[in-house]
Amino acid sequence: MEMLTDLLISLSNPRKNNQQKLKQICSTTMQAITHANRVSLWAFNQDKSEIVCLMCLSGEPATFTSGTKLNKTDFADYFNAILSEQVLVASDARTHPATKCFNKGYFEPNHIYSLFDYVYHDDFEPKGVICCESVGKPIEWVQSEQHILRKIANITSMFFKSE
């Protein structure tokens, strides 16, 4: 729980810019969700027809990237599932009905096998997604990770509310 308190304090620090805060969200999530070796923070556009990567943390050594865009027209099953369920747990993401649409253009090039996503909000409206992935091998996401990611999503929601 201490890392969640540290995240909340960090995100409320007015001396940190948004890029630093986005990196902090990804770093804390990677630390908290031990099965994840790739974490990204995404934002929906206004009509939820596109999602843009605000920050992605991956690799050894850790690198940050951003800018990838995914369109609902290409990944309708995913968009429909995440917007209706608010959480998506796909230990075998390459065969999961909502995520197998990512196989060719996203999972295979990035060697992703498992995915765990949680929506963050602004005034109860979906704002974006925190995405945890397992690169290199499939893993089983555990209940404790689901609990902690929900808390991180709630803290992230407060950050976007204050922007």
Its pTM stands at 0.91
Task: Give residue 1's pLDDT band: very low, low, confident or very high (50, 70, 90).
Answer: low
Q: How far apart are CA 72 and CA 35, in angstroms?
A: 27
| pLDDT more than 70, % of the chain | 98
Average the pLDDT over 14-28 and give the result: 91
Residue 156 pLDDT: 87
Task: Give residue 54's pLDDT band: very low, low, confident or very high (50, 70, 90).
Answer: very high
Indicate the domain borders of the chain: 2-162
Cis peptide before 61 (omega within 30 of 0): yes
Dihedrals phi, psi of 68, to nearest 5 degrees: -60, 140
According to CATH, the superfamily of the domain at 2-162 is GAF domain (3.30.450.40)
